Amino acid sequence: MLAKLQNDTFVFSGLRTHAQLLEASTMLMEDGKIRGFDAFAKDFNQVNTKYNQNYLEAEWQFAVSSSQSAGNWAAIDQDGRYNLQYRTANDDRVRADHAALQNITLPTDDPFWISYYPPNGWRCRCVAVEVLKTKYELSDSVKANEAGDRATTKIGPDGKNRSAIFRFNPGMEQKVFPPKHPYNKLKRAEEVKMAIKEIAPLSSTEDLSKHVQNYATENPEMFQRGYKKIMPTRAVDENGSTDGNGTIKLQQHIIDNVNAAINNIKTGKPTTLQQETALSTLHHEIWHNANKHGVYPHIPTKAEVKTMELANEFVARKTLPQFMEKIGGKLHNTELTENRPNTGYNTMVRNYDHLIKWSKADPNNVLETVKNNLINENLKSQKAGLVDGIIKNSEFKFKKATMQKIIKYAEDLPEDRFMALLEANGKLLTGNKSGK
């Protein structure tokens, strides 16, 4: 919630600046001529005083009160023992229509709290507190809502209700400022909001989902069946998953760290190891969507899934620097191209890297071979790409059956045992030069 409230304040501030500049722009000309600076400055200072003194104080007070109310709403006890009670500051400064709401007591799900949960106006000091159901008698809901309507009705010279904008619940809507504030209706306000959102920090799963949509639009080859959305997963045994058809699920902490990484990139700050590790998980799932076939031709065996994940993680890991560049950043923790301990596929990918070195295969060519197979061949056929990656790009000749066995060991053995196996089988290389 905090991030959403901060983002709302960020957008409101931008709209406020837009409103001030829009008003100031009308003062530049008079009778078709540019006004003198002194005359312009005098009028502009009046506008500046209005926005940055008169309005600012009221907006600041409202932001404090609204944020506190949102936090209180989020903290409401759900055990069913409490109702909410409306309370004013109960002094001589309380406006009469707000005083009429004093001690209104209603269940938390009463419609009253949707529209009249405080604050209910600029400089409103009212609050809603939890009270025991057994201690206070319930108010009449119909009469309470009528009183709320009167408290938020103030007809201006134009005949419009200027206080209707306060009929919202900051906690329910996770907004600090009224969503229907006049700033939102100004000329080109929607353009301003779109521009603000481009630089606004990402704070939610929805924000990330929209950001990845932009990436998918620019890189359609990575989403062969289109992009749908990012959503959280509660599965305890995975960092993320995908259906291969444009939907990606990630653990909430990974979503949060990806958002933080993108926010750092936007502001020119270096991304941390934790953030880049989270981006690696996202990148891994994106690569699953790059396969042209998308589904297994039959129910896969555990062995086929393991091999496919080896190929996918290998390609995702080696292309991580390029991914970082595409999203506007730079990979600072380059060790992630060789070692990513937060994935269960780490050992077998590291083993495959050892195999590349042992066979004296060209790493770049191996990557291209495995990547092309990952994109173009169905998911059950990824062993072929891993095998060909070594056979076609090594200085030595290997039988396909032999390499298949070695890669099976790479998938199954701990790293130290696999390295020992390679060392013990150096004779496979002796006198086995391919002439490459």
CA-based end-to-end distance of the chain: 60
Total residues found in the chain within this entry: 436
Mean pLDDT, residues 47-63 taken together? 92
| Long-range residue pairs from 385-388, CB within 8 A, at least 24 positions apart, any chain | 385/311, 386/307, 386/310, 386/311, 386/314, 386/352
pLDDT at residue 4, rounded to an integer: 77
Average pLDDT, the chain: 93
pLDDT at residue 196, rounded to an integer: 74
Q: Where are the alpha helices (DSSP H) in 226-381?
A: 252-266, 273-288, 302-318, 320-326, 346-358, 363-376
Find which of 54-58, 361-365, 429-433 is predicted with most confidence, using mean pLDDT.
361-365
| Most distant CA atoms of the chain, gap in Å | 99
Q: Where are the alpha helices (DSSP H) in 106-158?
A: 112-116, 141-151
Reply yes or no on whether the pLDDT at 430 is more than 80: no
Mean pLDDT, residues 416-426 taken together? 92
Reply yes or no on whether the pLDDT at 186 is more than 80: yes
Mean pLDDT, residues 78-103 taken together? 94
pLDDT at residue 192, rounded to an integer: 82
Side chain identity at residue 200, one-letter code: A
Q: What is the pLDDT of residues 363-393, one digit of tens each?
A: 999 999 999 999 999 999 999 999 999 999 9
Q: What is the pLDDT of residues 304-324, one digit of tens each?
A: 999 999 999 999 999 999 999
Reply yes or no on whether the pLDDT at 152 is more than 90: yes
Mean pLDDT, residues 93-99 taken together? 96
Per-residue pLDDT band at 420 (split at 50, 70, 90): very high
Mean pLDDT, residues 94-107 taken together? 97
**Which residue, 170, 175, 120, 122, is CA-closest to 145?**
120
pLDDT at residue 432, rounded to an integer: 63
Per-residue pLDDT band at 436 (split at 50, 70, 90): very low
Please say whether the beta carbons of 319 and 255 come within 8 A: no
Q: Output the six-digit token pair for 5.
A: 């409230």
**Which residue, 340, 386, 348, 339, is CA-closest to 367?**
386
Per-residue pLDDT band at 435 (split at 50, 70, 90): very low
Which residues, including other chains, have CB under 8 Å from residue 422's CB and lie 6 or more apart? 354, 355, 358, 406
Q: What is the pLDDT of residues 15-42, one digit of tens each?
A: 898 888 888 888 888 888 899 999 988 9
Please say whether the beta carbons of 374 and 382 come within 8 A: yes
Per-residue pLDDT band at 198 (split at 50, 70, 90): low
pLDDT at residue 54, rounded to an integer: 87
Q: Which residue has the higher pLDDT, 181 or 432?
A: 181
Reply yes or no on whether the pLDDT at 234 is more than 90: no
Reply yes or no on whether the pLDDT at 52 is more than 80: yes
- Phi (first) and psi of residue 284, to 5 degrees: -60, -45
| 282: exposed, middle or buried (Cβ count in 10 Å: 0-12, 13-18, 19+) | buried
The CA distance from 108 to 422, in Å, is: 67
